[in-house]
């Protein structure tokens, strides 16, 4: 999780390309009420009505609203957990308290960038007004991961390779990483 502009999707794509074949990490596919994009995360795309129907049918193990979009993770995406493997979910900071309640032992991967970098990246996208961008930046600055949970913080201010190296080093220090990568 992390703020818009932190480079979460880019860093997660980097990680996918660098993980060894025997890696214990699986990436959950999200269901999102937006069209599938040519670039970016490959997700299950549904319209808003379908998402709401799936939610009422209890098709999601977790679901949240962020930035005007509905996100969900179907129950089947959690199968790796039953096999004692790791599951990476690209989630929402606002949903974190619920995720911590639902999943004992959850480790937070918090990908962020400095306020100036976030601001510059968001302004370069030209999707929002400068005021909306500043509001996002201020929310990012104000957020802190609860001290009660295990957390890996990655500052993605420079290159993907630099941030990726920090992430890979942190993963290598996680309990069970060496045993699962032999």
> Is residue 54 in a domain?
no
Q: What is the CATH number of the domain that holds 118?
A: 3.40.50.300
Q: Is-above-0.85 flag for pTM? A: yes
Contact 69, 57 (CB under 8 A): no
pLDDT category of residue 178 using cuts at 50, 70 and 90? low
Domain that holds residue 118: 8-28+79-173
Q: Report yes or no on 65 lying in a domain.
A: no
**Residue-wise pLDDT tens digits, 127-171:** 899 999 999 999 999 999 998 899 999 999 999 999 999 999 998
Tell whether 121 is covered by a domain: yes
| Structure-block tokens of residue 3 | 């703020």
In a domain, 85, yes or no: yes
Domain count, the chain: 1
| C-alpha span between 129 and 122 (Å, rounded) | 10
The answer to whether residue 74 is domain-embedded is: no
- Asked if the structure places residue 89 within a domain, the reply is yes
pLDDT of residue 182: 54
């Amino acid at each position: 999780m992390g703020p818009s502009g932190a480079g979460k999707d880019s860093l997660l794509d980097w990680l996918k390309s660098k993980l060894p074949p025997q890696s214990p990490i699986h990436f959950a596919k999200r269901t999102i009420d937006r069209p599938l994009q040519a670039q970016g995360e490959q997700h299950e795309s549904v319209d808003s009505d379908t998402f709401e129907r799936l939610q009422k049918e209890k098709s999601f193990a977790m679901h949240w609203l962020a930035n005007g979009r509905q996100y969900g993770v179907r129950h089947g995406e959690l199968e790796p957990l039953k096999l004692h493997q790791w599951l990476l979910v690209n989630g929402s900071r606002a949903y974190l308290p619920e995720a911590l309640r639902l999943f004992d032992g959850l480790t937070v991967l918090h990908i962020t960038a400095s306020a100036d970098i976030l601001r510059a990246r968001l302004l370069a996208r030209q999707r929002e007004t400068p005021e909306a961008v500043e509001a996002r930046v201020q929310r990012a600055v104000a957020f802190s991961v609860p001290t009660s949970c295990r957390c890996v913080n990655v500052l993605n201010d420079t290159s993907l390779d630099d941030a990726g190296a920090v992430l890979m080093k942190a993963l290598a220090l996680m309990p069970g990483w060496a045993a699962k990568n032999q």
